């Protein structure tokens, strides 16, 4: 069985092999254009053919991403990408499973699923386009919108503090947590590739600006001015406490790169299921004994 634990084959694809013929209908300049490019570059580096990849999403501008790739895609229901992706991975463990979501899709309506995919440690890569707004439905507050943010649903400014996606997943025990932005395409492609290669649940928060409803300080130009690569800061991704301290700065600092990579990744759910199946097979009662028990005279 092929898992991401084993070294993946050498790259034999170009990024273009993973781009579908569908023309994106995003607003010109939307950050999600850059995210598709980064994902296709990462997939080319991984070297698995499109038919061995399942790309699942919910609903939102960002959830359109799978359709713009040549992988198998399932644009599911708002907030329900994770349960569907988990089922797909368990039914066919050999598939490489990616999930695209938005801050609203992933941390509002779908937020309850995050804890469970983490505690099960399902081997999939969860990429959340965090633009701090509901883009598709025309600019309502999202769970990651800053306090004070004025939107169509908060004319006087939001009274709520945002959800911190980095701290959220770290606190539930995610073993791979990273952040990237299309403002640094090479860095974004690299963290996505690392997330895919990680043997277990991997979370990548992508600061993908909404050019239509987003604030000026969230746009690529502003991001370039404040982005700090964790590598250049000498951050040790194996240090959970340091990763948590940096995660707390979400909203004030813009760190990119791998925030946390568990040096001793726990067993994945799929491995547990496979071991259980093997063990139960050994205990299986032979067919003739079952027949004897229920139909002794046959
Ligand atoms: C059950 C349900 N509730 C609400 C909606 C409406 N809806 C569609 S996308 C969306 C939010 C999208 O925001 P986000 O996930 O941040 O994605 P973005 O468009 O910003 O990429 C909402 C509220 C829906 N489609 N289904
Ligand atoms: S509304 Fe925002 S997130 Fe949606 S396509 Fe336009 S720029 Fe992108
Ligand atoms: Mg959004």
| Intervals of the chain under pLDDT 70 | 1-11, 298
Tokens 């890569």 identify what position?
125
**For residues 296 and 103, what is the distance between their CA atoms, to the nearest angstrom?**
61
Residue 290 lies in a domain: yes
**For residues 259 and 167, what is the distance between their CA atoms, to the nearest angstrom?**
10
- Residue 10 has a pLDDT of 55
**For residues 45 and 227, what is the distance between their CA atoms, to the nearest angstrom?**
25
**For residues 104 and 68, what is the distance between their CA atoms, to the nearest angstrom?**
21
- Residue 296 has a pLDDT of 84
Q: Tens digits of per-residue pLDDT, 15-29?
A: 999 999 999 999 999
Q: Does 154 share its domain with 271? A: no
- Residue 221 has a pLDDT of 96
Counting the structural domains of the chain, the total is 2
**Ligand 2 in reach of 61 Cβ (< 6 A):** yes
Tokens 């909404």 identify what position?
210
| Least distant ligand from the CA of 104 | 1
| Count of positions (residues) in the chain | 298
Helix axis angle, 81-91 relative to 111-120, nearest 10°? 30
Q: Which residues pair with 100 in a beta bridge?
A: 57, 127
Q: Does 229 share its domain with 295? A: no
Domain with 292 in it: 267-298
**Ligand 2 in reach of 142 Cβ (< 6 A):** no
- Residue 298 has a pLDDT of 66
Closest listed residue to residue 25, CA positions, set 121, 135, 120: 135
Q: Does 95 share its domain with 213? A: yes
Residue 146 lies in a domain: yes
- Residues 6+ positions from 33 with CB-CB distance below 8 Å: 24, 26, 182
- Residue 295 has a pLDDT of 86
Q: Does 140 share its domain with 276? A: no
Residue 5 lies in a domain: no
Q: Does 69 share its domain with 109? A: yes
The rounded Å distance from CA 59 to ligand 1 centre is 5
Q: Does 218 share its domain with 277? A: no
Q: Does 261 share its domain with 132? A: yes
Residue 171 lies in a domain: yes
Atom of ligand 2 nearest to the CA of 27: 6
The rounded Å distance from CA 163 to ligand 3 centre is 13
HEC assignment per residue over 78-89: CCCHHHHHHHHH
Q: Does 162 share its domain with 292? A: no
- Residue 5 has a pLDDT of 46
Q: Does 193 share its domain with 280? A: no
The rounded Å distance from CA 289 to ligand 3 centre is 58
**For residues 281 and 87, what is the distance between their CA atoms, to the nearest angstrom?**
22
Q: Does 52 share its domain with 188? A: yes
- pTM, rounded to two decimals: 0.94
List, chain by chain if needed, residues with CB within 6 Å of any ligand 1 atom.
59-62, 78, 102-105, 129, 131, 133-137, 142
Q: Does 162 share its domain with 291? A: no
**Ligand 2 in reach of 27 Cβ (< 6 A):** yes
Q: Does 166 share its domain with 277? A: no
Residue 8 lies in a domain: no
């Amino acid at each position: 069985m092929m898992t991401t634990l084993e070294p993946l084959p050498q790259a034999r694809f170009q990024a273009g092999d993973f781009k579908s013929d569908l023309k994106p209908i995003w607003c010109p300049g939307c950050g999600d254009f850059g995210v598709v490019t980064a994902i296709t570059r990462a997939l080319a580096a991984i070297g698995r053919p499109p038919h061995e990849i399942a790309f699942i999403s919910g609903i939102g501008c960002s959830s359109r991403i799978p359709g713009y790739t040549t992988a198998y895609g399932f644009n599911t229901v708002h907030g329900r990408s994770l349960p569907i992706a988990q089922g797909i991975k368990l039914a066919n463990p050999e598939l490489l499973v990616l999930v695209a979501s938005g801050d609203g899709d992933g941390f509002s309506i779908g937020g309850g699923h995050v804890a469970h995919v983490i505690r099960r440690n399902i081997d999939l890569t969860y990429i959340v386009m965090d633009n701090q707004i509901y883009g598709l439905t025309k600019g309502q507050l999202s769970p990651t919108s800053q306090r004070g943010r004025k939107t169509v649903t908060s004319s006087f400014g939001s009274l709520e503090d945002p959800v911190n996606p980095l701290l959220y997943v770290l606190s539930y025990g995610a073993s791979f947590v990273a952040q990237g932005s299309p403002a640094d395409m090479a860095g974004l492609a690299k963290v996505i590739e690392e997330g895919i290669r990680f043997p277990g649940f991997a979370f990548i928060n992508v600061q993908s600006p909404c050019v239509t409803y987003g604030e000026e300080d969230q746009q690529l130009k502003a991001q370039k001015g404040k982005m700090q690569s964790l590598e250049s800061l000498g951050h040790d991704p194996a240090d959970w406490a340091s990763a948590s301290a940096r995660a707390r700065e979400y909203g004030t600092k813009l760190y990119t790169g791998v925030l946390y990579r568990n040096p001793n990744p726990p067993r994945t759910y799929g491995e547990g299921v496979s071991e259980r199946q093997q063990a139960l097979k050994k205990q299986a009662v032979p067919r003739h004994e079952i027949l004897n028990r229920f139909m002794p005279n046959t």
